A and B are shown apart, each in its own frame.
Chain A
């Protein structure tokens, strides 16, 4: 059976992080995901209005271990991103969908959960169950 179309997902293919290729990542606003080698999502983030070098700066920082939650990211291998000026809403959408499917946030996002905006909820029936 074909997998259902998941319109909220970032459509770009996963890429292996290579320091020499950092310059090809746009310096724009947007959302991004960091995953383990098997595509298991470790962290979803956004490059917002106060981010230096946009998506490029954010993604590079993860792989350079410069972020406080680096412990959860030791297996980080892949990344993908989406240039989007509605980056906050898209970020919450990705996290909200992930939480409904997995019952918790991606491991790298859990330490920052207390300071996060309210995540969207999608299905009334599922929530009650």
Chain B
């Protein structure tokens, strides 16, 4: 077993880190502390820079003209991209590109032409519609939105909840029930243009994070049968695959924020004086900094292990769930302790800690709450699909 960064990985990390420090962080000094988008001219300028650096949409396979960077390297880069105020939900304000949901790579030629390629070129944006008012953690049962076949179309009725970007995206992957009697085999995925008649953004849902989400309604929304992604009834497998893979970068950006908070806490502890001495000389503070570091380093190993298994084409469901539980909970603890080190100034909007603190709370729920990740892991342990032996490293 070897964990040694290649020259290429070092270069990518170095370039992303320098980009964030020199281009993103200075811009944030003039933005509102809750900003989640850059002004259009800055977005275009920085996206062009990233493209010139060859780091735009790093995960796009080479057969689609992308750099085809592996998951480990993308995980390391994600940790760097997120080390700024808006970094948790908008790492580097998305100027490194929006990676297409993996199932789109298996789409039909027509679908690839209409959706995947414009997404790769940065001309279209996508949202994912899984969760409904009836729930999200158990999509096999919670999905009530129905699609009924009518000639060459499917007619969709129902609603979706907590859809980020649905009001600004050009299309979505919408998961619906096409067979009410078939359980998880009764769910299918459709590619839905957001300008389709019957597609309604019912309301914006304001949450703890700075950016909002949406509630959607589908009212006799007619979608051509050619927009079915994969086979009818394959939707559950598609969403499961996507959710599992997404847990790795989702965890990595949380580590980035934790690292940024830890750096701030160390710097502040070295300078802030109380009762005639700097905080850094107080054992209570030293222990907080050490606990932060233990959380950061443990998270990083778990996330890299999941990424390594994904890169090797091995099953990584258990590892991704473990990474997601630990990294999201640990990042919350790190920011909490860093805020404590800072005292009163830590809870103001002068510093990014308060935003990270609020937004990290969502990470223990979003993309499958900690409890669901533990269910996934318990199933694998009890069925011997996962083991505590050293074999787990193989």
Q: Which of B39, B168, B193, B210 contacts A121 (CB 8 A)?
A: B168
Least CB distance from B78 to A in Å reads 23
Least CB distance from B353 to A in Å reads 13
Least CB distance from A96 to B in Å reads 7
The answer to whether A49 and B349 have CB atoms under 8 Å apart is: yes
Could you say which of A17-25, A55-63, A67-75, A85-93 contacts chain B?
A85-93
Q: How far is the CA of A86 from the CA of B36 in the complex (A)?
A: 12
Q: Which of B39, B210, B349 contacts A115 (CB 8 A)?
A: B39
- Tell me, yes or no, whether B201 is within 8 Å of chain A by CB: yes
Q: How far is the CA of A49 from the CA of B353 in the complex (A)?
A: 13
The answer to whether A88 and B210 have CB atoms under 8 Å apart is: yes
- With A88-B210, A118-B168 as given contacts, are A49 and B200 in contact (CB-CB < 8 Å)? no
The answer to whether B203 and A121 have CB atoms under 8 Å apart is: no
Least CB distance from A86 to B in Å reads 4
The answer to whether A88 and B32 have CB atoms under 8 Å apart is: yes
The answer to whether A122 and B206 have CB atoms under 8 Å apart is: no
- With A89-B204, A124-B194, A128-B195 as given contacts, are A48 and B33 in contact (CB-CB < 8 Å)? yes
Q: Which of A86, A96, A128 contacts B206 (CB 8 A)?
A: A86
Chain B 183-221 per-residue mask, 1 if CB under 8 angstroms from chain A, else 0? 000000000011111111101101100111010000001
- Tell me, yes or no, whether A7 is within 8 Å of chain B by CB: yes
Contacts of A127 in B (CB 8 A): 195
- Tell me, yes or no, whether B52 is within 8 Å of chain A by CB: no
Q: Which of A49, A120, A125 contacts B204 (CB 8 A)?
A: A120
Least CB distance from A92 to B in Å reads 8
Q: Which of B33, B206, B214 contacts A49 (CB 8 A)?
A: B33
- Residues of B11-42 contacting chain A, CB below 8 A: 32-37, 39-41
- Tell me, yes or no, whether B167 is within 8 Å of chain A by CB: yes
Interface residues of B, count at CB 8 A: 30
- With A121-B168, A124-B196 as given contacts, are A50 and B37 in contact (CB-CB < 8 Å)? no
The answer to whether A89 and B211 have CB atoms under 8 Å apart is: yes
Least CB distance from A116 to B in Å reads 8
The answer to whether A50 and B32 have CB atoms under 8 Å apart is: yes
Contacts of B200 in A (CB 8 A): 122-125
Minimal Cβ-Cβ distance residue in A for B204? A93
The answer to whether B204 and A128 have CB atoms under 8 Å apart is: no
The answer to whether B194 and A89 have CB atoms under 8 Å apart is: no
Least CB distance from A18 to B in Å reads 29
Contacts of B194 in A (CB 8 A): 121, 124
Chain A 87-126 per-residue mask, 1 if CB under 8 angstroms from chain B, else 0? 1111011001000000000000000001101101111110
The answer to whether A124 and B210 have CB atoms under 8 Å apart is: no
- Residues of A6-56 contacting chain B, CB below 8 A: 7-8, 48-50
Q: Identify 20 residue pairs between A and B in the complex whose beta-carbon atoms are under 8 Å apart, listed by A's number.
A: A49-B32, A49-B34, A49-B349, A50-B33, A84-B206, A89-B204, A89-B206, A90-B206, A96-B167, A115-B39, A118-B168, A120-B204, A121-B201, A123-B200, A124-B194, A124-B196, A124-B197, A124-B200, A128-B196, A128-B197
The 9 closest A-B pairs by CB, nearest first: A124-B199, A125-B197, A49-B33, A89-B212, A120-B167, A49-B349, A86-B206, A117-B37, A48-B32
Q: A117-B37, A122-B167, A125-B199 are in contact. List 17 more A-B contacts (CB 8 A).
A: A7-B203, A88-B32, A89-B204, A89-B212, A115-B39, A120-B168, A120-B201, A120-B204, A121-B167, A121-B168, A121-B194, A121-B201, A124-B198, A125-B196, A125-B198, A125-B200, A127-B195
